[in-house]
Amino acid sequence: MMMMNVPEDVGKQAIECYDICKHYGRGKSKIQVLQNLAMRVPKGKIYGLLGPSGCGKTTLLRCVLGRLSFDSGLVLTLGRPPLTRGHGIPGSRVGYMPQEIALYNEFSIKETLVYFATVHKMSRKETNIRIDFLMDLLNLPDKGRTVGQLSGGQKRRVSFAVALIQSPELLILDEPTVGVDPLLRQKIWDYLLKFSIEQNTTIILTTHYIEEARNADVVGLMRNGKILSEDSPQSLLEVHNLPTLEGIFLKLCMADSKETGSNENVAIDIGVDSQVAIDIDVDSQVETTLPTEKTSLLLPNGTPNGMANGHSHSYTNPTFNQVDNTPKSDHDDDVICRSRAGTKSGIPKYQYDKIPWKLHHFLPSLMSMWALFVKDIVKLCRNPGLTAFYFMVPIIEVSLFYLAIGGTPMNLPVAVVNNEIPPNLSDAFLQQLPDDIIIQKPVATMDEALDNIREGRYFGIIEIPANYTAFMIKRFTTDGIIDNATLDGSSLKVTLDATNQQIAITLQTTILEAYNSFIALTLKKYGINPAQAQVPVVFVEPIYGSLDASFTQFMVAGVIISIIFFLAVGLTSVTFVVERKEGLMDRIWVAGVSTCEVTIAHVSTQFLVISVQIAVVLLFTFQVFKMTNEGNIFLIVLMCMLQGLCGMSFGLLISSVCDTEAGAVQAALGSFYPILLLSGIIWPIQAIPYPLYYIALALPQTYAAEALRAVMSKGWGVDHFEVWIGYVITTAWWLIPLALSALILHIRR
């Protein structure tokens, strides 16, 4: 049976870790980062966590802060497990300085400190007093200077000030002296000693500079996910009879390398109810629930390690007792850890008062959201080039669409082989061809014209037969059957380069319209009814739209929402990626900001930008380029707003999933063409093969484009299915990715 080495004064230290195990990966790629780790940090002391890079120091701190779940074990931070609702861990009771600078370069020193003070819900008066104190204490430069203008050492001190702004009880510094010069390193240690002595602040810092930790009250030597030894520097030197901590660490590492043993894997599952109950077993689960009136921690008797009163002690890899899921006691306030062979009697009991239930524990903080909102606005204002780009892009895109798409191709060179001598009716026909569309290029022979069209000089050939006028007169004045020679001699032969379909269709349409005008004038001249030459199919005035509607009119609805959608995707797809990469997300998570608050603040900020973009797009559509609209402008604006929110939530989903800007950009770009091509924006979805057709229906813009097209071209309202279903699906595409992004952020935090 494995006994858990837990002292009777459990819960009295600032930080207590017992048998913490944590791994990353699965199967063959599984890496055990923390192995039955035990650590105790006394209150009001400086604890130096020493170890090489990659030994698990940062992982341990993330577990202590509630930023990372662990496989098994027990962590108490300031007397309670982290993430206990209302406990303030993560939250304002802890100050955190990550390895990265984790500051906004656009902010001034004062704005940076005010931002984090607001996140911690400090009053303005308290904030100003604290800023003046820290500016003087840390010898910071002028508070109006922006962070981007500071040197590396000055940025480190500002980052340190951010960790101290709310006067935390616990200060956690992750590699605070890495990459700094010795003078600044000594200054940082002077500040730490000052805070520890004068304000009774508990400080835990990680470092791989072993000898600099002599100033710490307690040193924990860590290697391969284990605390090899934990004691005051002087005691370690005396016990091991060595002159340096580096020598002691080397000795312990060599001894640890010789040891062999197996690690137990313990599953953990956390649930929330009216009590906190922890049952630990090799194959059991750990269940944690919130307390009601008081919370008791019942743990197996272990050998006290002697740190309760600040005395020196030493841990060597303690492990948990194997226990079963015995029934809970009658007290709903107990945290229980029972041995299989033991009973409740004789188990040391630690009680702490219940944190009263308050509504604000469950609601987003308005101050935090306001701080995040103002932060995003300031970043926009401090990047005028980027902000101008956000507002210029929709102008450029919508202008390019209306100027370049859907218009009639112009100045098309066409070879004309006129075999009629002298030209009569053939010349009358050629005069009906519009000069701005077709540039006539007379060519002597058909062979020459074919050679030129094969070389790409012309888009088509119009061949007029000899005696064209005579055959035309005979065709329309002869009674009875007309011979084939007359039919052939009165026919124009057109040869096209059909590789460009739009140009080929334009030439066909233009030549046919010119011929109809020519034949009507000719027949009227000879006293013949022009209707005799028309095809006996009459297209009456359409119910919706017009017979001469351009391709632009078909595409405009889809293009409007696609521009708005993808502008929103581009605006938000790297939002979380950049802040996560620079350590800023870690900082606000430790400050107690919730995923809900972050999501709401980002959506609010980006919605302002998107609203301006929507206004620009609609203004240019209806006022500058005079596109027709038969429907309610409110429905158009509403659909644009929903599509902007839809693109924003899709971008936030990409940002929450991706770890790098390159990955986020690739995901955003990769989604562009599938959505554009399958949503019926460029071509009707009725032309899509059926397996792909159903995928197209599930995209965010398919029904939206149809709905907006029905509103703009037909004047329909929400009483039509084609309209309201577009709004419903767009709303779903907004809410579902937004919820998923919040969930992923919550999981990844």
pLDDT at 352: 55
pLDDT surpasses 90 at 183 = no
Task: Say whether both 295 and 439 belong to one domain.
Answer: no
- 159 within some domain: no
Mean pLDDT, the chain, whole residue set: 83
pLDDT at 351: 55
- 104 within some domain: no
411, with CB counted inside 10 A (0-12, 13-18, 19+), is exposed
pLDDT digits (tens, 9 = 90+) for 108-117: 999 999 999 9
pLDDT surpasses 70 at 618 = yes
Structure tokens at 162: 């951010």
Confidence of residue 353 (pLDDT cuts 50, 70, 90): low
Q: What is the CA radius of gyration of the chain?
A: 39
Structure tokens at 638: 């509403």
- 138 within some domain: no
Q: How far apart are CA 14 and CA 254, in angstroms?
A: 31
Q: How far apart are CA 608 and CA 21, in angstroms?
A: 46
Task: Say whether both 438 and 381 belong to one domain.
Answer: no
Mean pLDDT of 9-30: 86
pLDDT surpasses 70 at 597 = yes
> Could you tell me how many helices (H) and strands (E) the chain has, helices first?
23, 16
* Beta pairing, strands 412-418 & 460-464: parallel
Q: How far apart are CA 449 and CA 347, in angstroms?
A: 104
Helix axes 152-164, 124-137, angle to 10 degrees: 140
Confidence of residue 368 (pLDDT cuts 50, 70, 90): very high
Mean pLDDT of 422-436: 92
Beta bridge partners of 77: 15, 80
Task: Say whether both 384 and 282 belong to one domain.
Answer: no
Confidence of residue 580 (pLDDT cuts 50, 70, 90): confident
pLDDT surpasses 50 at 262 = no
Task: Say whether both 501 and 626 belong to one domain.
Answer: no
Tokens 């797809």 sit at which residue? 573
Q: Which of 356, 391, 421 is the last residue of a domain?
A: 356
Helix axes 152-164, 182-198, angle to 10 degrees: 10
Task: Say whether both 508 and 590 belong to one domain.
Answer: no
Structure tokens at 113: 């400190």
Q: Where are the alpha helices (DSSP H) in 593-720?
A: 595-619, 633-657, 661-678, 690-697, 702-709
pLDDT surpasses 50 at 308 = no
Lowest mean pLDDT segment, chosen from 91-100, 188-197, 589-598: 188-197
- 488 within some domain: yes
Beta strand segments in 89-164, E: 94-97
Domains held by the chain: number: 3
Phi, psi of 86 (to 5 degrees): 85, -5
Confidence of residue 417 (pLDDT cuts 50, 70, 90): very high
CA 588 to mean position of chain CA atoms: 16
Confidence of residue 6 (pLDDT cuts 50, 70, 90): low
**Stronger pLDDT, 311 or 653, i.e. the higher one:** 653
- Cα Dmax for the chain: 129
**Stronger pLDDT, 481 or 302, i.e. the higher one:** 481
Helix (H) or strand (E) holding 608: helix 595-619
The percent of residues in the chain predicted with pLDDT above 70, rounded, is 85
Q: How far apart are CA 210 and CA 224, in angstroms?
A: 16
Task: Say whether both 173 and 59 belong to one domain.
Answer: yes
**Stronger pLDDT, 260 or 746, i.e. the higher one:** 746
pLDDT at 135: 92
User: Is-contact 569 651, C-beta < 8 A?
Assistant: yes
**In sequence order, which residues have a C-beta less than 8 Å from that of residue 350 and are 6 or more positions away?**
10, 11, 296, 297, 298, 299
Q: Which of 45-54, 305-314, 576-585, 705-714 has the highest mean pLDDT?
A: 705-714
Sheet bearing 170-174, strands edge to edge? 94-97, 170-174, 202-207, 46-50, 218-223, 226-231
User: Is-contact 555 406, C-beta < 8 A?
Assistant: yes
**Stronger pLDDT, 173 or 3, i.e. the higher one:** 173
- 53 within some domain: yes
389: phi > 0 → left, psi -120 to 50 → alpha, else beta; which?
alpha
Q: Which of 503, 533, 563 is the last residue of a domain?
A: 533
User: Is-contact 297 10, C-beta < 8 A?
Assistant: yes
pLDDT at 692: 92
Amino acid at 405: I
- 122 within some domain: no
Task: Say whether both 262 and 309 belong to one domain.
Answer: yes
- CA distances 342 to 2, 285, 345, 347, Å, are 13, 19, 8, 9
pLDDT digits (tens, 9 = 90+) for 326-349: 333 333 333 333 333 333 333 334
Task: Say whether both 562 and 710 belong to one domain.
Answer: yes
pLDDT at 555: 93
Task: Say whether both 679 and 579 belong to one domain.
Answer: yes
Query: Is the bond leading into 422 cis (omega within 30 degrees of zero)?
Result: yes
How does DSSP assign 353-416, residue by residue?
A: EPPPP-GGGTS--HHHHHHHHHHHHHHHHT-HHHHHHHHHHHHHHHHHHHHHSSPPP--EEEEE
How many CA within 13 A on the CB side of residue 200? 2
pLDDT surpasses 70 at 267 = no
pLDDT at 103: 95
pLDDT surpasses 70 at 88 = yes
**CATH number for the domain that contains residue 282:** 3.40.50.300
User: Is-contact 502 409, C-beta < 8 A?
Assistant: yes
Domain span holding position 230: 15-93+168-356
pLDDT at 28: 82
pLDDT at 356: 64
pLDDT at 79: 87
pLDDT at 365: 87
Task: Say whether both 723 and 652 belong to one domain.
Answer: yes
Q: Could you tell me which of 275, 162, 81 has the C-alpha nearest to residue 584?
A: 162
- 406 within some domain: no
* CA angle in degrees (0–180, nearest 5) for 430-432-435: 85
Task: Say whether both 629 and 593 belong to one domain.
Answer: yes
pLDDT digits (tens, 9 = 90+) for 689-705: 988 999 999 999 999 99
**CATH number for the domain that contains residue 443:** 3.40.1710.10
* Beta pairing, strands 15-24 & 438-442: unpaired
User: Is-contact 733 698, C-beta < 8 A?
Assistant: no
Q: Write b or e for each residue in 296-328: b if 16 or more Cβ atoms lie within 10 A of its Cβ, otherwise e.
A: bbbbbebebbebbeeebbebebbbbbbbeeeee
Helix (H) or strand (E) holding 507: helix 501-525
Lowest mean pLDDT segment, chosen from 122-126, 278-282, 502-506: 278-282
pLDDT at 7: 63
pLDDT surpasses 60 at 528 = yes
pLDDT digits (tens, 9 = 90+) for 698-737: 999 999 999 999 999 999 999 999 999 999 999 999 999 9
CA-CA-CA-CA torsion sign (180, 184, 186, 189): negative
582, with CB counted inside 10 A (0-12, 13-18, 19+), is middle
pLDDT at 354: 62
Structure tokens at 737: 């990715």
Residues listed for the chain: 749
pLDDT surpasses 80 at 20 = yes
Tokens 């669409």 sit at which residue? 401
- 153 within some domain: no
pLDDT surpasses 60 at 366 = yes
pLDDT digits (tens, 9 = 90+) for 531-571: 877 888 888 888 988 888 888 889 999 999 999 999 999 98
Lowest mean pLDDT segment, chosen from 85-89, 462-466, 739-743: 85-89
Task: Say whether both 419 and 396 belong to one domain.
Answer: no
Q: Which of 484, 504, 533 is the last residue of a domain?
A: 533
